[in-house]
Amino acid sequence: MSKRLLGLILVLPALATITLLFLVPLAASIIGAFEIEGSYGLGNFDKAFALYSQDILFTVVIVSLSTAIIGLVAIAIGGYLTLGENTLAVSILRWLYRWPLFIPFIVVGQVLRTFLAKNGMMNNTLVSLGVITPLEATSFLDWRGIVIAFVWKQAPFVALLVSGAMASLDRGTIEAARNLGASRLRILVEIVVPQVATTLIVGLVLSFVTMMSVLSVPLMINAQSPTMITADIAFRLNAYRDYGVANALGLISLLITASVAWIYLKHNVRSQA
């Protein structure tokens, strides 16, 4: 009995920290989403959907598209690191691809803003190379800019996880396929990726959740409508002190990420069965 008590005392600081700093604010925020001037109801959600349903859809589409592209880029990078035969190219890629991991989102937004603008570095380069004329130059500072920023920042993270999983595969499974005559692309698609699917999905779910919570990129790259939920939440709080709608939008965003996490859990349970 005293041993049990001691155990309880030992975990108490951790438990208290989680309760005070995580559970209580979360509960307050969820309750706040239903609170309208002292009473409870769905009014905040009505308002949120009336004003921002387009932004909610925009957010889901942008983040899903980014996640898909991140998956492809990560598989390509991990695949080349695992199956590439040019050792110099492999070591250069290994050295280069991780750099965006160490750059904060706000800096990514800033860098891409100057790079993707109508008179930005990308268009200037294309014009000076004669690929496009100055009149054809368009700004990428819209949904495309957000997708580019997300992929640029998150693909290295997923590539890091995926290439680690690929590196720890039994090389024999790759060589056996080569021995039977499979091309490198087929080996990647049919042998390597299925074996690292769980890691890939974990990385993509984590990236999805991260992207859902980024404020700086939509604010810096896409300061127009439609924009992402995070920008709307910030706007409701800063401009109107409207905690009710902000909390409702937060809960909607939480439900979107929870559904993605549920896909992950379902996959995890199935692969362990």
Partner 1 sequence: MTPAPFLEVKKASVAYGATTVLEGIDLAIAKGEFVALLGSSGCGKTTLLRTIAGFVKPVAGTISVAGRDVTRLPPDKRGMALVFQSYALWPHMTVAQNIGYGLKLRRQPADAIARRVAEMEALLGLTGLSRRKPAQLSGGQRQRVALGRALAIDPEILLLDEPLSNLDARIRLSVRHEIRALQRRLGITAVHVTHDREEAMVMADRIVILDGGRIAQAGTPEEVYNRPVSSFVAAFMGAENCVSLAGRVTGGHFAIAAGPTNAPCTVPLAGRPLVDGPVVARFRAEAATLVPADDASAKPEGTLVLSGRVESASYPGGHWRHAVVVGPDTVLVDAPAAFAPNTAVKVCVPPQALFLFSPAGAETAKAGPSAYKSNKASELAGA
Instruction: Return the number of the residue (76 or 182) whose C-beta is nearest partner 1.
Output: 182
The distance from CA 146 to its chain's CA centroid, rounded to whole angstroms, is 11
Q: Does 170 bind partner 1 (CB under 8 A)?
A: yes
Can you tell me which of 177, 188, 214, 251 binds partner 1, judged by CB under 8 A? 177
Q: Does 165 bind partner 1 (CB under 8 A)?
A: no
- CA separation for the pair 184, 190 (Å, rounded): 10
Helix (H) or strand (E) holding 143: helix 143-167
Write out the binding residues for partner 1, residues 138-157 only, by CB under 8 A.
Answer: none
Per-residue contact string for residues 192-211; x = within reach of partner 1 by CB under 8 A: --xx-x--------------
Can you tell me which of 181, 239, 241, 269 binds partner 1, judged by CB under 8 A? 181
Can you tell me which of 68, 175, 238, 258 binds partner 1, judged by CB under 8 A? 175
Instruction: Return the number of the residue (195 or 216) whose C-beta is nearest partner 1.
Output: 195
Stretch touching partner 1 by CB under 8 A, among 24-32, 95-103, 189-197, 219-227? 189-197
Under 8 Å between Cβ of 143 and 222: yes
- CA separation for the pair 218, 118 (Å, rounded): 17
3-state helix vs strand vs coil in the chain, percent to 5: 80, 0, 20
Can you tell me which of 41, 186, 258, 262 binds partner 1, judged by CB under 8 A? 186
Instruction: Return the number of the residue (118 or 266) whose C-beta is nearest partner 1.
Output: 266
Total binding residues toward partner 1, as defined by CB under 8 A: 16
Helix (H) or strand (E) holding 13: helix 2-18
Residue with the two structure tokens 């991140």: 70
Which of 203, 204, 196, 235 has the alpha carbon at shortest distance from 219? 235
The distance from CA 26 to its chain's CA centroid, rounded to whole angstroms, is 21
Binding site for partner 1 (CB under 8 A): 170, 172-173, 175-182, 186, 191, 194-195, 197
